[in-house]
Amino acid sequence: MRLVLATDAQRYERDLVNYPAWGPPLTVEGYVTREYRLRSHPWAQAELKTWLLCADNQEVLASCETYRTDSFLRAADGSLEAGDSYAIASVFTEERLRGKGHATRLMDLLASELERASPRVHSALLLSDVGAPLYRRSGYRETPAWDWRFEPEPGEPSEGVDRLLPETEMGSALARMRRPEVPFFYWPTPAQLDWHLERERIYSELLPRPRPEANGATAGESTALWYMVGKSSTLMVLMFDARTPEAAAALLRSARRVAHRAGLSRVVLWEEPAAAPLLAGVPGAVREAREGSLPMLRSLRPGLALAEATPIPRALWV
């Protein structure tokens, strides 16, 4: 067995193979269009690689994707050391080939490849929809995964916040957000946020359904950024930086009203340790164990210990 990078033709072949798992409610044609557009986005063009585990006869046994993302180590004096981490997505083995250890072999070979990918490598991150045991075998360890869920509500979204944010201001809004005060963290780029908005655009066109009227809001120094997950009728918070309980409530009330106007069924915020105390007092907040997207981390750098409480905002999902 060997690990190889996929050609464009092989990527298309894998799209057809994994459509039943990830494609609906889109048609096959719609799913292929979605994948092509996401891969054509500037962030993916710069950071995406598709990997194949191949047998000696060239048969593809399993596949996955990696996206390079920025990560940072914080020194005792507060200074930051930038590094490279790799988010792993779309791990797939055809049903006829399952139960033979191919996914584990893929993960092991990939980790060895990523350890050599950059002189400033930090870690690998994946978000498992099949639980933890499969990836524990390859050295990954899970972190807590909780969601805060809110029901949409009628009302004017701009009431109680300073302003609503259009998609064109996502980058400037990200720049004003506080970075976590922890020894190690990941941080998205504006292009990475726009990749999520490209998903929103695609589903809005293909399903079709209206896009939300805003992609975030500010209240004082506090900021929330969100996007629509069209296939699950969810307004998903990408990044959340609330400085006070009052600001947290105002931002989430705005999100709930945006969701209501867009005809969405819920608002979801992934819990991060620093934000959790602010959310418990928000009216209508429901905390629940997340189904799927279990964050799992693996160090790729000798001596780098990854804490269980590493913050994982939705913006890191791929």
Same domain, 139 and 235: no
Q: State which residues form the domain around 299.
A: 2-145+292-316
What is the pLDDT, as a whole number, of residue 308? 85
Same domain, 150 and 115: no
Is pLDDT of 59 > 90? yes
Q: Give the tens place of pLDDT for each residue, 152-171.
A: 999 999 999 999 999 999 99
Q: How wide is the angle at C-alpha 107 spanned by C-alphas 106 and 113, nearest 5°?
A: 90
What is the pLDDT, as a whole number, of residue 171? 96
- What does the pLDDT average to over 92-105? 95
Same domain, 51 and 141: yes
Q: What whole-number distance in Å separates Cα of residue 228 and Cα of residue 298?
A: 29
The model's pTM = 0.96
What is the pLDDT, as a whole number, of residue 135? 96
The amino acid at residue 258 is V
Same domain, 150 and 76: no
Same domain, 80 and 187: no
The overall average pLDDT reported for the chain is: 96
How many domains is the chain partitioned into structurally? 2
Q: Give the tens place of pLDDT for each residue, 264-311.
A: 999 999 999 999 999 999 999 999 999 999 999 999 999 998 988 899
C-alpha 310: how far from chain center? 14
Same domain, 137 and 21: yes
Same domain, 199 and 265: yes
Tell how strand 234-241 and strand 48-54 pair up. Answer: unpaired
Q: What whole-number distance in Å separates Cα of residue 148 and Cα of residue 162?
A: 23
Is pLDDT of 53 > 90? yes
Same domain, 165 and 127: no
Q: What whole-number distance in Å separates Cα of residue 171 and Cα of residue 154?
A: 28
Q: Give the tens place of pLDDT for each residue, 216-257.
A: 999 999 999 999 999 999 999 999 999 999 999 999 999 999
Q: Give the tens place of pLDDT for each residue, 3-21.
A: 999 999 999 999 999 999 9
Q: What whole-number distance in Å separates Cα of residue 26 and Cα of residue 269?
A: 25
Which CATH number fits the domain that encloses residue 71?
Answer: 3.40.630.30
Q: What whole-number distance in Å separates Cα of residue 1 and Cα of residue 21?
A: 25
Same domain, 273 and 153: yes
What is the pLDDT, as a whole number, of residue 174? 98
What is the pLDDT, as a whole number, of residue 104? 96
